[in-house]
Chains A and B, each alone.
Chain A
Amino acid sequence: MSAPLLDIRDLSIEAHKDGERLGIVERVSFSVATGEILGLVGESGSGKTVTCRALMRLLPTRSLRISGGKIEFAGRNLVTASEAEMRHIRGARIGMIFQNPASHLDPVMRIGRQIGESLVLHLQMSPREAKAQTIELLRQVGIPDPQRRADDFPHQFSGGMRQRAMIALALACSPELLIADEPTTALDVTVQAQILRLLVELRDKRGLSIILITHDLGVVAQTCDSVAVMYAGRICEKGPKRDVLAEPLHPYTSRLIACQPSASAEAGLLPSIPGQPPSPSAWPSGCRFHPRCERAIGLCRSSAPELVTVRSNHVAACHVTAPARLADEAA
């Protein structure tokens, strides 16, 4: 296989807080091949957004910084790339759909102009072409009557429409890699399916690679090729979608799958993972999931498990389940 489009190795990110250094993301590695869709799932606060912002070198420099590792994109290490170089990559070669569109759309600029501007800037389109292209993009993401709605301000759009405008903005310059940070949270299931279909189609036609951050494992099942699961700043499991969803190894992944509400169930309480997600200022020792894990053993408290390969490409970091599975496979 040729080199992957994006290869992240041992990426660590630190926060400065009150003169202290907190490890927000620790030694995260994954890669995305051309035309691959990678699902990135995990608890709130596990560092998914921070990892992806680091990729774009868009961390708030005063509070967060990359403290180690490398990010190789199309043969270039983005960790050391200059700001000028990044400006050419951002938007044009890597597109990002931000998690909260409300704060990434300019409230006082018309939607159409915001998209058109980036087309003029990166693709040197004439304003006329840009306008036509903008309307086509808005149509693709399912905004009805795009001609006229392009003249609206963000606050005149519904929540879901703003999110779709954000998607149009990220796709505007036909990037090679798309980072979609929870792109469909504000969309109903039919529009969500339409957007996902659009992304998959772009992948099939143009070989677009996608990192899809989501909380919805149903979406992962429908669209992704592989999955990486993050917990408390570390990757705890990754592998091909089928393997991870059908035979999850890490207890956190299993619990996550069990928590997914199903539409066929009756009324009543929803299953959830007991306990609170840990915070970077007080990471648990050893395996960071151990305080909430019902299969934890003494070893989990004292030492952090390494990622172990249990089958080709399927890796997990657990002291209990990974060795058990390895033994099974050997037998």
Chain B
Amino acid sequence: MTALLEVAGLEVAFAAGGFTWPGQAARQVKAVNGVSFALNAGETLGLVGESGCGKTTLARAILALTEKSAGEVLFEGERVDRTSLMRLRRNAAMIFQDPFNALNPRMRVGDILAEVLRVHRKVPPDRIAARVEELLVLVGLSGEHARRKPATLSGGQCQRVGIARALAVEPKLIVADECVSALDVSIQAQIINLLIDIRSRMKLAMIFIAHDLAVVRRLCDRVCVMYLGRIVEEGATADVFSAPKHPYTQALIRAIPEIDPAGSLPRNMLPGEPPSPLDLPPGCAFHPRCPQAMDICRSGDAPVLRPAGEQRAACLLYGGVRH
């Protein structure tokens, strides 16, 4: 069986701000730098990593919302390009981080959903109103909300509308970019539970980007950990959380705040400044901050993902090293 989504050697570069002399090569931010992974139907993949490491850019590039500079994306075994783009659009949807900015402020909730149904001809015109109500009920709202404008809804309710809109296309893949980080824990839990429920009912595959590792642990089958545009660790959620292999993943998991009444801030596990994506250091991009860095980490090409325990990690501590 082919995977639902396959990403191979994906790279995205942006022209960087700042002054360049004429003749000097324009500077580039390599936001995504050779990412490859596969996602099966019905599977949920968590994507975590440092702020600014390229998660949003990766998600947008997968959905062809940002121009990629190299690599390819295969959806159901077919390359996504100009001609097959509509196929991806009909089968994949995105949920955004900021629930208020993701909805057109001048449209009613009902119109927002109806528009999707109309454009994709999901139901005959006379069934649209009924289907809109069905979708609202599915995400825990009611038909009454169809007449409201987004500004009169709370953040959690707006986020539900965003989810309803994503579900309206009846997608096989949902990409959720930090879709609960703006919500309080109780509503966050309701939304996550909703996603868990819908996922199993509709056999949805999901790419779930989040900073809240506790939520990732609950929701995701697999996790990819990103650092500066590359995937540095990838494996089943339980394995990655119980025995993180890459030093960055270890630091990340140790930094999860727990509610301990006597708690205090953890000491800094990642000393030094994060390197600039404008000029990546040679070797492993994590070496300037890595407590276990060796000489071989500081030069040559970036390490590639290799088996490490149950999962795979891009770290020279786990083999591939000749002394």
Contact = CB atoms under 8 A, between A and B. Distances in A.
Report A-B touching, CB under 8 Å.
yes
Contacts of A159: 51, 56, 97, 178
A9 B4 CA distance: 58
A143 B17 CA distance: 14
B178 A186 contact: yes
A121 interface: no
A298 interface: no
Interface string A264-298: 01111111110001010000000000000000000
A217 B268 CA distance: 20
B318 to A, nearest CB: 21
B190 A185 contact: no
Contacts of B273: 139, 142, 144
Interface stretch (A70-78, A88-96, A127-135, A148-156): A148-156
Interface in B192-230: 192-193, 196, 211-215, 217-219
Contact of B97 (A143, A152, A186, A272): A186
A222 B262 CA distance: 8
Please classify how large the interface on chain B is, using the bins under 10, 10 to 19, 20 to 34, 35 or more: 35 or more
Interface stretch (B85-93, B110-118, B179-187, B305-313): B179-187
Interface in B69-117: 97-98, 100-101
A221 B270 CA distance: 21
B256 A189 contact: yes
Contact of B51 (A188, A200, A265): A188
A215 B277 CA distance: 31
Instruction: Name which of A110, A149, A189 has the most chain B CB atoms within 10 A of its CB.
Output: A189
B244 to A, nearest CB: 12
B211 A221 contact: no
Interface in A228-262: 241-242, 245-246, 255-257, 259-262
Nearest to B256: A263
Interface in A176-232: 182, 185-194, 196-197, 200, 215-223
Nearest to B216: A263
Nearest to B157: A276
Interface of B: 14, 16-19, 27, 48-52, 54, 56-57, 97-98, 100-101, 154-156, 178, 181-190, 192-193, 196, 211-215, 217-219, 237-238, 241, 251-253, 255-266, 268-270, 273-278
Given A156-B14, A218-B256, 8 more contacts: A42-B184, A100-B100, A189-B252, A216-B185, A222-B263, A266-B217, A269-B193, A272-B189
